Structure 1
């Protein structure tokens, strides 16, 4: 091949490669833009947040946790499991032992085998884990357009922005902006990645009646159930913080004793 023709061919390849690279980068940028969502607004949490390192003395609001459990029970549990939580754990929310037994007894669970080798159902007891709404993941997916709803036991710690993200998604349903295509069966959500979520808006003003008489606005329900899910994801948060405070106090006292001992040992050294 003559030199001029070779240079011309190289130029053509470079131009074609540049066009292809530009197109690929544009596609990637568009995909990335579609997969992102604005950070949800920060909320005030009585417990300070499960990922907060500056809330050593903050605790969960038991009344809010009980209301949040009510929201989960009456709304979320129809689709979402919480496989890592047992009914007896609800005593940490302020429920009495008898109340926990009554809550558990509302559900039928499978047990066995019995003496004849057969499985059977019985009322749940406090040591049982929360009953899942579906027998398995495939059944859950089949009932939800091919996508199984996620288990909520650790959902707060499994998402960026933690509590704020869960609260943001629950309150982030909006009418889609002009020109934004929402596929059939989807809903526009301001804080969900990609903005299209398969879950229909789960909360409505006065959709439930709180046992303690608190007005059940969407914001209140979202705040309470998010606090409950934060507790479920980090049930030992308060004990861990108390231990951290005790360790810090011990180290401060130990440092003081060591300093005093050092002063005494070296007092006569000139």
Structure 2
């Protein structure tokens, strides 16, 4: 019992130290020092797809798709996601075909050796808003906006000790959505004494600097929902973050279901091996 108490006290002390380090970094930034980015750690949200039995909320994913198509797709591509995978969001084949037909995609060459455009079909991927990377960079101040296909798996803040110990047992894999949500809702005025580069916007949740060139992309009432969900920045950020998680890992539910079945099989197999051992050696002299 004493050992348990000591362990808990040590863990609490380490957690307090980690909090103190973060506070010191924020103070260093306010005083013009060299902080560690992000200045604030991302929020930890309660996602429906979290944990070993997590699953996607299809209504939320459909709202996230609406935000991507109406807002994010103006700058960000999603080249690795095909239209036909949208059936995983609960859409019918006819709805997917109609959705794909809203896009113009480049195809060819034709018999004359020329490229041409046509309406999209389910087998096509989401087209990029720019013809190439150079054009994307030229239209965005020299830096091409990142592709969104795998952004929810590629982005995420490493959680230090002792948090990562708990993550092993909770199977925390939502670092990307947590980061995206925090970034989208984290724009604010810089604190006193903090200067940001001209043309950039202060965001203490940005992983690379204190500010970024992208202006706040979402605001209350910007996108109209048909299902009665709140039309607020907070809800928009949650929905598009969940959608991007699905885009990066559309087979998450199947993976978790398979993993659970494997664990059950291993547990039963272990019991059978133990019983077999007892049966074989029951009459053996030791």
Please give the alpha-carbon distance, in whole angstroms, between the structure 2 residues aligned to 1:225 and 1:63.
12
Corresponding position: 1:67 with 2:27: no
The residue aligned with 1:249 is 264
Residue of structure 2 aligned with 1:40, choices 39, 42, 47: 42
Please give the alpha-carbon distance, in whole angstroms, between the structure 2 residues aligned to 1:79 and 1:32.
31
The residue aligned with 2:181 is 167
TM-score (norm 2): 0.79
Cα deviation 1:122-151 (Å, max 9, x = unaligned) = 000000000111011110011111111111
1:35: how far off? 4.4
In structure 1, runs of 5+ residues without a counterpart are: 1-25, 49-54
Please give the alpha-carbon distance, in whole angstroms, between the structure 1 residues aligned to 2:248 and 2:39.
24
Please give the alpha-carbon distance, in whole angstroms, between the structure 2 residues aligned to 1:243 and 1:59.
13
Bigger Rg, structure 1 or 2: 1
Cα deviation 1:224-269 (Å, max 9, x = unaligned) = 0000001111111111111111111111111111122222222222
Specify whether residues 132 and 252 from structure 1 end up closer, same or farther in structure 2 by C-alpha distance, changes over 3 A only.
same
Runs of 4 or more, structure 1, over 3 Å off, are none
TM-score (norm 1): 0.84
Specify whether residues 223 and 36 from structure 1 end up closer, same or farther in structure 2 by C-alpha distance, changes over 3 A only.
closer
Specify whether residues 44 and 119 from structure 1 end up closer, same or farther in structure 2 by C-alpha distance, changes over 3 A only.
same
Cα deviation 1:54-101 (Å, max 9, x = unaligned) = x11111111101100111110000000011100001111111111111
Residue of structure 2 aligned with 1:181, choices 191, 195, 198: 195
Please give the alpha-carbon distance, in whole angstroms, between the structure 1 residues aligned to 2:154 and 2:275.
46
Please give the alpha-carbon distance, in whole angstroms, between the structure 1 residues aligned to 2:83 and 2:111.
27
In the comparison of the two structures, how many residue pairs are matched? 236
What is the Cα-based RMSD across aligned positions, in Å?
1.6
